[in-house]
Amino acid sequence: MITIAILLLILLALMGAPLHAIILGAAALGFYTLDIEMAVLHIDIYQLSNSVVLMALPLFTFAGFLLSESKTADRMLRLSQAAFGWMPGGMAFVSLIACAFFTALTGGSGVTIVALGALLLPALVKGNYPERFSLGLVTSSGSLGLLLVPSVPLLIYGIIAQQMSQQLDMPSVEIVDLYLAGLVPALLMIVLLYGYCVWATRGAAKAGHPIPRQAFDFRELVDALWEARWELPLPVVVLGGIFSGFLVVSEAAAVTALYVLVAEVFLYREISLRKLPSIMRDSMIMVGGILLILAVALAFTDYLVYAGVPEKLFTLIQTHVQSKIAFLILLNILLLLLGALLDIFAALVIMVPLILPVALRYGIDPVHLGVIFVANMQIGYITPPVGMNLFIASYRFKKRVTELFASTIPFMLVLIVALLMITYIPQLSLWLVR
């Protein structure tokens, strides 16, 4: 009976039932087998109002929507071009940097490809980069920066970890620590990808199609800086505010939202006051979808913990896996598979509650685990069958998903190398934190 119900839920999920309905169904089924009153679903959903950092999610997302509705992407592209265009593989490096920062600021979720992709792809092609290479670069860079402050997936990992741990159960998982820990791994990814780009395009010069560089022009750099004068202080405000302790993360989000609002509406005047309510509404619909998933995930987690599933899972894994290294290998395989199937938020809310307690017992630092998780998920953005970046790029560039996937394979391999380094060298994540 229960087995049939579980199979039915899986079938409905594959048929495209909203994820919140599936997770709620699973939680309800679980509680039903334990004979618990269904009002527990309400109690768990209400726990959404119990998080101290969750407020950052709507505020950062709103700021991201404002940035992508205005001409921020053009300014950012011009600026990075002026600053880095002279380097070998300059345009590729510009793409990486611009995407990383834009993704970090807008919280990922495909906005980057929509906003920057349309600018970067023609620029790359015009710069003599092969089209297939360019497509792959833009599509896979669209999730670069997920490990950089103020990334939303890292924030969500921190929220779940905090909810699970309260204050005493394990080494603290401060959001600030997660952001610090993500810094070096994110840079590692950028450096490796850049290295690959230079290597992959080395043949072009021999073939007589050298990739032109933009000569460094101080005047142009100053102009580009001046053009971006209202947006440039933003990272300083956010990072400075958080790391000086002047602001807690949720407050930094509020300051960001207010700052971006003033900059785009009153200083750049690229968004009219009349358009503002609809941008607010649209951004909050997306946030609502994510928050709903988070809320119902609380119910599902409650069921798992209540039924003692993490303990059972741990016992099961422990009988087969002895060492930390072996566990990490297993974890990477599992997360890459899941990342290929699940949306990043879904993967986080479903997997973190299961994995975190088990990983703790293998002596893995929860902050390091967060970085591993998000790094895996970042690769998940470009792996079929569910790769948000592939879908969005396909829609944006009018290319088939299979074609896009083929173009991203080399970049994916580079990212997997980075992932392995991040996983097996915890110091990369932790040396700024512990």
Binders of another protein among residues 286 to 345 (CB under 8 A) are 286-295, 302, 305-306, 341-343, 345
The listed partner (another protein, Na ion, none) that binds 383, CB under 5 to 8 Å by sort, is: Na ion
CA atoms within 13 A on the CB side of 353: 23
- CB-wise, 190 or 342, nearer to Na ion? 342
145 binds, among another protein, Na ion, none (CB under 5 to 8 A by kind): none
How many angstroms separate the CA atoms of 125 and 275, rounded? 34
118 is an interface residue for another protein by CB under 8 A: no
Only one of the segments 18-26, 150-158, 300-308, 385-393 lies at the binding site for Na ion (rule: CB under 5 A); that segment is 385-393
Q: Is residue 82 within 8 Å of 224, Cβ to Cβ?
A: yes
Choose among another protein, Na ion, none what residue 101 binds, the Cβ cut-off being 5 to 8 Å by kind: none
Q: Give which of another protein, Na ion, none residue 144 binds (C-beta under 5 to 8 Å, depending on kind).
A: none
**Whole-number Å distance between alpha carbons of 293 and 289:** 6
Query: Which residues inside 51-90 make contact with another protein, applying CB under 8 A?
Result: 51-52, 54-55, 57-59, 62, 65, 68
Candidates 1, 273, 277, 319: give the one binding another protein (CB under 8 A).
Answer: 277
In 3-state terms, what secondary structure has residue 38?
Answer: coil
Whether the bond between 150 and the residue before it is cis, its omega within 30 degrees of 0, is yes
Region from 87-95, 141-149, 157-165, 375-383 binding another protein, contact rule CB under 8 A:
157-165
Task: Tell me which of 104, 197, 388, 414 binds Na ion, using CB under 5 A.
Answer: 388
Asked whether position 24 contacts another protein by CB under 8 A, the answer is yes
CB 293 within 8 A of CB 299: no
Phi/psi for 128 (5° steps) reads: 75, 10
* Secondary structure letter of residue 148 according to DSSP: S
228 binds, among another protein, Na ion, none (CB under 5 to 8 A by kind): none
- Of 26-34, 90-98, 261-269, 342-350, the segment contacting Na ion by CB under 5 A is 342-350
Shortest CB 17 distance to another protein, Å: 4
Closer to another protein by CB, 23 or 120: give it. 23
Residue 47 token pair: 């726990």
Using CB under 5 A as the binding criterion, the count of chain residues that bind Na ion stands at 8
Q: From Na ion, another protein, none, which one binds at residue 311 (CB under 5 to 8 Å depending on kind)? A: none
Which one, of 22, 81, 75, lies nearest residue 293 by Cα?
Answer: 22
Name the binder of 214 from Na ion, another protein, none, CB < 5-8 A by kind: none
Pick the stretch among 91-99, 206-214, 275-283, 367-375 that binds another protein (CB under 8 A). 275-283
**Comparison of 193 and 257: residue with beta carbon closer to another protein:** 257
Interface with another protein, residue 196, by CB under 8 A = no
Q: Applying CB under 8 A, does 105 fall inside the site for another protein?
A: no
Q: Write the Ramachandran bin of 398: left for phi over 0, alpha for psi from -120 to 50, otherwise beta.
A: left
Closest CA to 397 of 165, 108, 67, 142: 142
Q: Choose the one of Na ion, another protein, none that binds residue 37, judging by a C-beta under 5 to 8 angstroms depending on kind.
A: another protein
User: Would you count residue 416 as binding Na ion (CB under 5 A)?
Assistant: no
- Quote the CA–CA distance of 167 and 157 in Å, as a whole number: 16
Pick the piece of the chain touching another protein (CB under 8 A) from 6-14, 125-133, 198-206, 417-425.
6-14
Q: How many CB atoms lie within 10 A of CB 229?
A: 12
Q: How many CA atoms lie less than 13 Å away from 356 in the CB half-sphere?
A: 28
Sole residue written with tokens 């996983």: 423
Residues contacting 187, CB < 8 A, separation 6+? none
Contacting residue, 357, 380, 410, 426, with Na ion by CB under 5 A: 380
Separation of alpha carbons 28 and 30, rounded Å? 5
* Whole-number Å distance between alpha carbons of 206 and 295: 56
Q: Which residues sit at the interface with Na ion, rule CB under 5 A?
A: 340, 343-344, 380, 383, 386-388
